[in-house]
Amino acid sequence: MPRFARVILDRSTGKELDYEIPEPWRGRVTEGSRVRVPLRNRQMLATVVSTSDATDAKGVRPLAGIMDEKPQMTPVLMRLAKWMAEYYACDEQDALRCILPRAVRETGNAPLRRKFAALAREVSAAEISALQAKAPRQAAAVGYLQNARGAVPVAKLEAQTGATAATLNTLARRGLVEIIVEAVRRAPRGSHEFVVSEPPLLSGEQEKALQGIRPALADPAAHKPIVLKGITGSGKTEVYLRAIAEVLEAGKTALVLVPEISLTPQTVERFSSRFSPKGIGVAVLHSHLGEGERHDEWHRVRDGKARIVIGARGAVFAPLEKLGLIVIDEEHDNSYKQDDGPRYHARDLAVVRGRMEPCAVLLGSATPSLESFENFRKGKYDLLELTHRHDGCTLPVFRVVDMRLRSKDGERNRQFLSPKLCNAIEARLAKGEQTILFLNRRGFFTVLTCSACGKAVQCPHCSVSLALHRAEDAARCHLCGYSRKPPKCCPECKDPRIAFTGIGTEKVEAAVRKLFPKARVARMDSDTMTHKNAYHETLGAFRSRKIDILVGTQMIAKGLHFPGVTLVGIVSADSALHLPDFRAGERTFQLLVQVAGRAGRGDAAGEVIVQTFTPFHPSLQFAKSHDFDGFAEQELEMRRNFGHPPYSHIVLLTVRADTAQKAEFVARTLSHQLAAAVPSSVMVSPAAPAPLARVRGMYRYQVVARGRQIRALTKAIKATMDAIKLPKDTHIVVDVDPMAVL
Ligand code: ADP
Ligand code: ZN
């Protein structure tokens, strides 16, 4: 049995150290075990990366403790950490840290215990006031417990009254207070009974899709990931449910990833009601779980008590064994991209994990990402399609309203709700039907657009809109760093009416209230949805038709079913189209299709009205005819011509520092040294201020690298970053395959 363990310390940068495994623990410590190790005169937590019979290291000390009987990290997760460190140019320790939730990492397998305090007996007012004089904290604690009438978590009691552990111990010794320790298991879903739902008969298309998936379930090593392309409401989820049932039948487990925003009680209910009555545990993992809940859910999975995991992006690291299937629903969704720490993409990791397990991988979407679609075209993925809405509803009618004509009238007070849209809203109000007004407003940068021809000022090299940097009076490309003085008139049509377009949801809401004073209007965006329940409250009110017109951002675009909605108005398609980003067209297309999916899900046919200054933009035209293939074809052609992803990889390096000089200096150095270290096929941009040039007092500069060989690129980046000596209060954030170059 191996005598030595090689570990990575939790608080290191991936440095590996050897320790001796004490005799009684040999065989129990393996790859993936969590251990405590001595380091100088302290103890630290660490993860075992390998074990061996010999070591070259001098002065090897013994391990101080084991945290788990069954290793917390599975072999596949250990491999995934290595893969992440290489691909995302991060430390292996950072990868391990994102794989293992903190609540688990630090407590090991011990059940998380919570202490409660309660009064041990009646305490009179006289006793309390006597205490008050001698020991005010004790008095406060007793008083609080008296009011609480029952057990209170100790943590809460301490926070509320200023009592300390010592205070409570004294009270316990004196027989006034009782401390209860409980190993609590919290059920994040609440503990209600699930209604048994019998699986419906599959449609012919669904049956065919399921048949297409079966070979991959039976022999995953020999099969490719499968893209399940199906319009909204075509029954993709039902296909997932069937595939999962077969996986469970075969004694395996299943993982379902959904975008954070779609991880609603309804989604979970749909899975639970199918499987829970059969005694199959369903665990839910998402970022809003408390530490305790996360700890419990994680252990339920690790102990094999839950064989299905549903979760947002982080659930890709669920410690399932014998994994048979990973489903990524709405695989194109941006929320799969992690936005701090190692910036991984859960869909990409799911595909990698699928290969490592091996297990079947199913990527579902109405609008697959161009990355996945290109993988299908190259023969790396398979494709299955669902083309009919299950409820037989027809897709909504798209109408594009050309806003240019309005500006030509020379109206001063630029109306942003066209008569066509207003009439349509009016008609819905008269019939008691509901309207969604959608606006994709991203506030922090502006794009120069011409109100005569509708074009946005573009980068000559990258075909992305230039972003205006007001402070420097420059229009800049975020991809290659090209920069020019903002033009005084439109470069296309020479019209001087070139301006920053920008309206927000708030303005729209105000206008709607004024135009339709009798309508019940609500707004939903990150400004109004500040408290936790606001989202559900507003949606609830909308669903029960207490709201006629709902104005909102992306928040309302996804996966919501409102039978009363027959009109979706897109106030401005341009704010999404002209993002200074090469994915702007793709985003807009996805968004339009998603939003359109909100209209006419009930009996009434839906209508979508899109207002735009660029009515002939291909993204709009293809969305109008619900033509994904046509869109993908032309968009991929454009991407290929400009060498954008998926035909290259982009790495965005952001330098943050407490002064602009430092940030700029480091970014410049980084740009030069990186350019020298990479093959000539890699394009490295000069250092430039980030679009968000200053965030929370930190100045930001960025460098963009683009090349075909991602491994060569990330290796060069790692080496360059190691070689640069960073000044104090300076950080470099590496984002491989960023979702936006902003
Ligand atoms: P998607 O995931 O593609 O949006 P869903 O699976 O949610 O589609 O299906 C849309 C609606 O149709 C749901 O209400 C679902 O219950 C219903 N549905 C799906 N498949 C069937 C089926 N075979 N028989 C009856 N109803 C179905
Ligand atoms: Zn450019």
- d(CA 362, CA 255) in angstroms, rounded, equals 10
What average pLDDT does range 425-440 have in this prediction? Answer: 90
What residue has token string 């292996």?
92
pLDDT in tens, 539-594: 888 888 999 999 887 666 665 667 788 898 988 887 667 666 888 889 889 988 88
CA distance 204 to 495: 55
Binding site membership of 365 for ligand 1 (Cβ less than 6 Å): no
- Please give the distance, rounded to the nearest whole angstrom, from the Cα atom of residue 553 to the centre of ligand 2: 28
Place of tokens 């990402």: 369
559 Cβ inside 6 Å of ligand 1:
no
Calculate how far, in angstroms, residue 372's C-alpha sits from the geometric centre of ligand 2: 25
Tokens 């008609």: give the residue. Answer: 427
Cβ-in-10-Å burial (0-12, 13-18, 19+) of 77 comes to buried
- Give the percent of the chain with pLDDT over 90: 46
Ligand 2 centroid to residue 305 C-alpha, Å: 52
Q: Contact 32/75 with Cβ under 8 angstroms? A: yes
CA separation for the pair 721, 716 (Å, rounded): 8
Of 199-203, 435-439, 501-505, which range is least confident?
501-505
Q: How far is the CA of 75 from the centre of ligand 1 (A)?
A: 37
HSE (side-chain half, CA atoms, 13 Å) at 20? 10
Token representation of residue 578: 């002209």
Nearest C-alpha to atom 4 of ligand 1 is from which residue? 233
| Atom number in ligand 1 closest to CA 234 | 3
DSSP per residue, 116-130: EEEESS---HHHHHH
State the number of CA atoms in the 13 A half-sphere of 315 facing the CB.
29
Distance CA 512, CA 526 (A): 19
Is the dihedral angle over the CA atoms 531, 535, 536, 538 positive or is it negative? positive
Residue 176 has pLDDT above 90, yes or no: no
Question: Which residue segments constitute the domains of the chain, with CATH numbers given?
Answer: 4-74+91-107 (3.40.1440.60), 112-184 (no CATH), 189-386 (3.40.50.300), 397-444+503-638 (3.40.50.300), 649-736 (3.30.70.600)
Q: Is the pLDDT of residue 12 over 80?
A: no
Mean pLDDT of the chain: 86
Instruction: Round to whole Å and give the CA distance between 710 and 374.
Output: 17
3-class DSSP assignment, residue 56 = coil
- CA nearest to 737, candidates 669, 650, 636, 666: 650
Separation of CA 395 and ligand 1 centre (Å): 15
Q: Is 200 in the pocket of ligand 1 (CB under 6 A)?
A: yes
Rounded distance between C-alpha atoms, residue 108 and residue 34, angstroms: 7
Task: Choose the weakest-confidence range: 171-185, 450-464, 475-489.
Answer: 171-185
Whether the link from the prior residue into 358 is cis, omega within 30° of 0, is: yes
Q: Is 74 in the pocket of ligand 1 (CB under 6 A)?
A: no
Nearest residue (by CA) to ligand 1, atom 11, is 233
Cβ atoms of 477 and 685 closer than 8 Å: no
SS3 annotation, 87-109: HCCCCHHHHHHHHCCHHHHCCCC
The closest alpha carbon to 224, from 347, 363, 385, belongs to 363
Token digits for 123? 């305490």
CA of 679 to the centre of ligand 2 (A): 20
Name which residue sits closest to atom 18 of ligand 1, judged by CA: 235
H helices then E strands: how many in the chain? 23, 31
- Express each pLDDT in 254-303 by its tens digit: 999 999 877 777 888 889 989 988 888 999 998 777 778 888 899 999 99
Among 201, 206, 238, 558, residue to substitute to test ligand 1 (most atoms within 8 Å of Cβ):
238
| CB of residue 232 inside a 6 A radius of ligand 1 | yes
Q: HEC states along 345-392?
A: EHHHHHHHHHHHCCCEEEEEECCCCHHHHHHHHCCCCEEEEECCCCCC
Q: Which ligand is nearest to the CA of 274?
A: 1
233 within ligand 1 shell (Cβ under 6 A): yes
> Which atom of ligand 1 is closest in space to residue 270's alpha carbon?
16
341 or 108, higher pLDDT: 341
Q: Contact, 233 vs 559, CB < 8 A? A: no
In which order are the strands placed within the sheet that holds 226-230? 281-285, 306-311, 253-257, 323-328, 360-365, 226-230, 382-386
Beta bridge partners of 655: 701, 732
Query: In this structure, which ligand is nearest to the CA of 460?
Result: 2
Residue 525 has pLDDT above 80, yes or no: no
By alpha-carbon position, which residue is closest to atom 26 of ligand 1? Answer: 200
pLDDT at residue 148 tops 70:
yes
Residue 640 has pLDDT above 80, yes or no: yes
Distances (CA, A) of 428 to 572, 608, 699: 20, 13, 48
**In angstroms, what is the span from residue 440 Cα to ligand 1's centroid?**
28
Give the mean pLDDT of 45-56.
92
**Cβ–ligand 1 contact at 552 (below 6 Å):** no
Q: Which of 106-120, 183-197, 365-379 has the lowest mean pLDDT?
A: 183-197
pLDDT at 197: 66
Pocket flag, ligand 1, residue 706 (CB < 6 Å): no
Which ligand is located closest to the Cα atom of residue 391? 1
Nearest residue by C-alpha to atom 25 in ligand 1: 200
Q: Tell me the C-alpha distance between 596 and 594, whole Å.
A: 5
Residue 237, ligand 1, Cβ within 6 A: yes
Average pLDDT estimate for 63-88: 92
Least confident of 204-218, 308-322, 515-529: 515-529
Q: Which of 202, 237, 266 to mutate to test the pocket of ligand 1 (most atoms within 8 A of CB)?
A: 237
Per-residue confidence (pLDDT) for residue 191, from 0 to 100:
44
How many C-beta neighbours within 10 Å does residue 718 have? 16
Q: Is the CB of 238 under 6 A from ligand 1?
A: yes
Whether 721 is in the pocket of ligand 1, judged by its Cβ within 6 Å, is: no
| Nearest bound ligand to the CA of residue 232 | 1
Residue closest by Cα to atom 23 of ligand 1? 202
Ligand 1 centroid to Cα of residue 238, in Å, is 6
> Helical H runs in 417-493?
419-431
| pLDDT at position 592 | 86
Where would I find the H helices in 228-290? 236-249, 265-275
Report CA-CA distances (Å) from 619 to 94, 374, 578, 586.
39, 18, 11, 7
Q: Are 471 and 635 in contact (CB under 8 A)?
A: no
Alpha helices in 558-597 (DSSP H): 574-577, 584-596
692 vs 96, more confident: 96
